[in-house]
Structure 1
Amino acid sequence: MRQSFTRGKRMGYCLGVVVFLASACSGDKEAENVSATDFVNPFIGASTSVGAAGVYHGLGKTFPGATTPYGMVQVSPNTITGGDNSPGYSFEHKTIEGFAFTQMSGVGWFGDLGNFLVMPTTGKLKTIAGKEDGSIRGYRSYYNKDSEVAKPGYYAVELTDYRIKVETTAAPHSGMIRFTFPENKESRIQIDLARRVGGTSVKQYIRKVDNQTIQGWMKCTPDGGGWGNGEGNADYTVYFYARFSKPLDNHGFWRADIPDDWPRKRDDVVSEPYLRRVEKAEIIRGQTELEGKHLGFFSDFETHENEEITLQVGISFVDMGGAENNFRSEIEGKSFDQVRAEALALWDQSLSGIKVQGGTDDQKTIFYTALYHTMIDPRMYSDVDGRFIGGDKRIHERGTYTRRTIFSGWDVFRSQFPLQTLINPRLVSDQLNSLISLADESGRGYFERWELLNAYSGCMIGNPALSVLADAYVKGIRDYDVEKAYQYAVNTSALFGNDKLGYTGPPFSISNTLEYAYTDWCVAQLADGLGKKEEGQRFRQKAQAYRNIFDPEKGWFRPRRNDGSWEEWPDSARTKEWYGSIESNPYQQGWFVPHDIPGMIELMGGRSKTLEDLTNFFEQTPDHMLWNDYYNHANEPVHLVPFLFNHLDAPWLTQKWTRHICDKAYKNSVEGIVGNEDVGQMSAWYVLAAAGIHPSCPGSTRYEITSPLFDEVEFALDPQYFNGKSFKIKAHQNAPEHVYIQRALLNGQPYNKCYIDFYDIVSGGTLELFMGPQPNHDWGINQQVAKTVKNGVED
Structure 2
Amino acid sequence: MYLLIKRIAFSCLIATLISCTRSAIVTDNVLSDYVNPFIGASTNVGDAGTYHGLGKTFPGATTPYGMVQVSPNTITGGDNGSGYSYEHQTLEGFAFTQMSGIGWYGDLGNFLVMPSTGKLQLIAGKEDNSIKGYRSRYDKKTEIAKAGYYSTELIDYNIKVESTVAPHSGVLRFTFPENEQSRIQIDLARRVGGTSTKQYVKILDEFTIQGWMKCNPDGGGWGNGAGKTDYTVYYYARFSKPIENYGIWSADIPDDWSRKNDEVVSLPYLSKIAQSQILSDKKELEGKHLGFFTEFPTDDSEEVTLKVGISFVDVEGAKKNFEAEVAEKDFDRIREEAQASWDQALGCLKVSGGSEDQKTIFYTALYHTMIDPRTYMDVDGRYVGGDGKIHVGSDFTKRTIFSGWDVFRSQFPLQTIINPTLVNDELNSLITLAEESGNEYFERWEILNAYSGCMFGNPAISVLADAYLKGIRGYDVEKAYRYAVNTSHKFGTGELGYSPEPYSVAYTLEYAYSDWCIAQLAKLLGKEEDYAVFMEKGQAYRNIFDKEKNWFRPRNVDGSWVEWPEEGRLKEWYGCSEANLYQQGWFVPQDIPGMIELMGGRDKVLTDLTDFFEMTPQNMLWNLYYNHANEPVHLVPFLFNHLQAPWLTQKWTRFICDKAYTNSVEGLVGNEDVGQMSAWYVLAATGIHPSCPGSTRYEITSPVFSKIEFALDPTYYKGGKFTIIAHDNSPENIYIQRAILNGKEYDRCYIDFTDITAGSILELYMGSEPNREWGIR
TM superposition score normalised by structure 2? 0.97
* Cross-structure match for 2:734: 739
* Cross-structure match for 1:250: 245
Per-residue CA deviations over 1:420-469 (Å, capped at 9, x if unaligned) read 00000000000000000000000000000000000000000000000000
Q: Aligned partners of 1:211 and 1:103: how far apart in 2?
A: 29
Contact 2:25 2:711 in 1 (8 A): no
Q: Aligned partners of 1:315 and 1:555: how far apart in 2?
A: 55
User: 1:356-435 maps to which residues of 2 (within 5 A)?
Assistant: 356-435=351-430
Is the aligned partner of 1:194 residue 2:189?
yes
Q: Aligned partners of 2:769 and 2:22: how far apart in 1?
A: 37
Pairing partner for 1:313 from 290, 308, 313: 308
User: 1:438-453 maps to which residues of 2 (within 5 A)?
Assistant: 438-453=433-448
Question: In 2 relative to 1, CA 644–16 (structure 1 residues): closer, same or farther, beyond 3 Å?
Answer: farther
Give secondary structure in 2 for the equivalent of 1:634: coil
Give secondary structure in 2 for the equivalent of 1:267: helix
Residue identity matched to 2:574:
Y
Q: Aligned partners of 1:738 and 1:682: how far apart in 2?
A: 25
Structure 1 residue 500, shift from structure 2 partner: 2.3
Q: Aligned partners of 1:307 and 1:231: how far apart in 2?
A: 45
* Cross-structure match for 1:35: 30
Residue identity matched to 1:62:
T
Q: Aligned partners of 2:204 and 2:725: how far apart in 1?
A: 58
* Cross-structure match for 2:82: 87
Residue identity matched to 2:633:
V
* Cross-structure match for 2:621: 626
Is the aligned partner of 1:74 residue 2:46?
no
* Cross-structure match for 1:180: 175
Residue identity matched to 1:366:
I
* Cross-structure match for 2:662: 667
Structure 1 residue 251, shift from structure 2 partner: 1.0
* Cross-structure match for 2:59: 64
Structure 1 residue 16, shift from structure 2 partner: 6.2
* Cross-structure match for 2:461: 466
Is the aligned partner of 1:456 residue 2:451?
yes
Question: In 2 relative to 1, CA 729–160 (structure 1 residues): closer, same or farther, beyond 3 Å?
Answer: same
Contact 2:161 2:172 in 1 (8 A): yes
* Cross-structure match for 1:279: 274
Q: Aligned partners of 1:564 and 1:541: how far apart in 2?
A: 19
Pairing partner for 2:702 from 697, 701, 707: 707
* Cross-structure match for 2:758: 763
Residue identity matched to 2:43:
T
Q: Aligned partners of 2:40 and 2:284: how far apart in 1?
A: 41
Q: Aligned partners of 1:38 and 1:339: how far apart in 2?
A: 17
Contact 1:15 1:718 in 2 (8 A): no
Structure 1 residue 19, shift from structure 2 partner: 5.8
Pairing partner for 1:515 from 496, 510, 516: 510
Contact 1:16 1:349 in 2 (8 A): no
Residue identity matched to 1:737:
E
User: 1:721-740 maps to which residues of 2 (within 5 A)?
Assistant: 721-740=716-735
Is the aligned partner of 1:134 residue 2:129?
yes
* Cross-structure match for 1:296: 291
* Cross-structure match for 1:502: 497
Q: Aligned partners of 2:25 and 2:307: how far apart in 1?
A: 31
Q: Aligned partners of 1:700 and 1:307: how far apart in 2?
A: 58
Per-residue CA deviations over 1:42-77 (Å, capped at 9, x if unaligned) read 000000000010000000000000000000000000
Q: Aligned partners of 1:83 and 1:538: how far apart in 2?
A: 44
Question: In 2 relative to 1, CA 542–759 (structure 1 residues): closer, same or farther, beyond 3 Å?
Answer: same
* Cross-structure match for 1:4: none
Q: Aligned partners of 2:643 and 2:219: how far apart in 1?
A: 51
Kindly, what percent of the aligned residue pairs are identical? 71
Give secondary structure in 2 for the equivalent of 1:268: helix
Residue identity matched to 1:449:
R
Structure 1 residue 20, shift from structure 2 partner: 8.8
Is the aligned partner of 1:555 residue 2:528?
no
Q: Aligned partners of 1:418 and 1:307: how far apart in 2?
A: 48
Per-residue CA deviations over 1:510-535 (Å, capped at 9, x if unaligned) read 00000000000000000000000110
Contact 1:385 1:398 in 2 (8 A): no
TM superposition score normalised by structure 1? 0.95
* Cross-structure match for 1:9: none
Gaps of 5+ in 1: 1-11, 23-32, 783-795
Q: Aligned partners of 2:24 and 2:166: how far apart in 1?
A: 21
User: 1:310-349 maps to which residues of 2 (within 5 A)?
Assistant: 310-349=305-344
* Cross-structure match for 2:142: 147
Give secondary structure in 1 for the equivalent of 2:204: strand
* Cross-structure match for 1:688: 683
Is the aligned partner of 1:261 residue 2:245?
no
Pairing partner for 1:654 from 641, 649, 663: 649
Question: In 2 relative to 1, CA 158–122 (structure 1 residues): closer, same or farther, beyond 3 Å?
Answer: same
Contact 2:369 2:676 in 1 (8 A): yes
Pairing partner for 2:101 from 97, 102, 106: 106
Residue identity matched to 1:74:
Q
Residue identity matched to 1:204:
Q
Structure 1 residue 398, shift from structure 2 partner: 2.9
* Cross-structure match for 2:482: 487
Structure 1 residue 479, shift from structure 2 partner: 0.5
Contact 1:408 1:450 in 2 (8 A): yes
* Cross-structure match for 1:217: 212
Contact 1:17 1:349 in 2 (8 A): no
* Cross-structure match for 1:564: 559
Question: In 2 relative to 1, CA 16–499 (structure 1 residues): closer, same or farther, beyond 3 Å?
Answer: farther
Is the aligned partner of 1:749 residue 2:744?
yes
Contact 1:16 1:716 in 2 (8 A): no
Residue identity matched to 1:101:
F
Q: Aligned partners of 1:772 and 1:533: how far apart in 2?
A: 47
Contact 2:26 2:348 in 1 (8 A): no
Question: In 2 relative to 1, CA 375–15 (structure 1 residues): closer, same or farther, beyond 3 Å?
Answer: farther
* Cross-structure match for 2:773: 778
* Cross-structure match for 1:5: none
Q: Aligned partners of 2:133 and 2:43: how far apart in 1?
A: 23
Give secondary structure in 1 for the equivalent of 2:494: coil
Residue identity matched to 2:414:
L
Once the two structures are overlaid, the 10-residue window that deviates more, 66-75 or 278-287, is 278-287
Is the aligned partner of 1:160 residue 2:163?
no
Is the aligned partner of 1:676 residue 2:671?
yes
Give secondary structure in 2 for the equivalent of 1:243: strand
Contact 1:16 1:352 in 2 (8 A): no
Question: In 2 relative to 1, CA 16–758 (structure 1 residues): closer, same or farther, beyond 3 Å?
Answer: farther
Q: Aligned partners of 1:82 and 1:233: how far apart in 2?
A: 17
How many pairs does the alignment contain? 761
Residue identity matched to 2:288:
K
Give secondary structure in 1 for the equivalent of 2:262: coil
Question: In 2 relative to 1, CA 253–20 (structure 1 residues): closer, same or farther, beyond 3 Å?
Answer: farther
Structure 1 residue 723, shift from structure 2 partner: 1.1
Give secondary structure in 2 for the equivalent of 1:210: coil
User: 1:571-610 maps to which residues of 2 (within 5 A)?
Assistant: 571-610=566-605
Is the aligned partner of 1:54 residue 2:42?
no
Question: In 2 relative to 1, CA 61–762 (structure 1 residues): closer, same or farther, beyond 3 Å?
Answer: same
Question: In 2 relative to 1, CA 740–450 (structure 1 residues): closer, same or farther, beyond 3 Å?
Answer: same
Residue identity matched to 1:188:
R
* Cross-structure match for 2:225: 230
Gaps of 5+ in 2: 1-14
Residue identity matched to 1:648:
L
Residue identity matched to 2:724:
I
Question: In 2 relative to 1, CA 20–623 (structure 1 residues): closer, same or farther, beyond 3 Å?
Answer: farther
Question: In 2 relative to 1, CA 419–779 (structure 1 residues): closer, same or farther, beyond 3 Å?
Answer: same
Contact 2:95 2:109 in 1 (8 A): yes
Q: Aligned partners of 1:196 and 1:15: how far apart in 2?
A: 36
- Please tell me the root mean square deviation across aligned C-alpha atoms, in Å: 1.0
Q: Aligned partners of 2:185 and 2:633: how far apart in 1?
A: 46
Contact 1:20 1:35 in 2 (8 A): no
Q: Aligned partners of 2:696 and 2:468: how far apart in 1?
A: 10
Q: Aligned partners of 2:210 and 2:610: how far apart in 1?
A: 60
Q: Aligned partners of 1:249 and 1:572: how far apart in 2?
A: 68
Contact 1:643 1:696 in 2 (8 A): yes
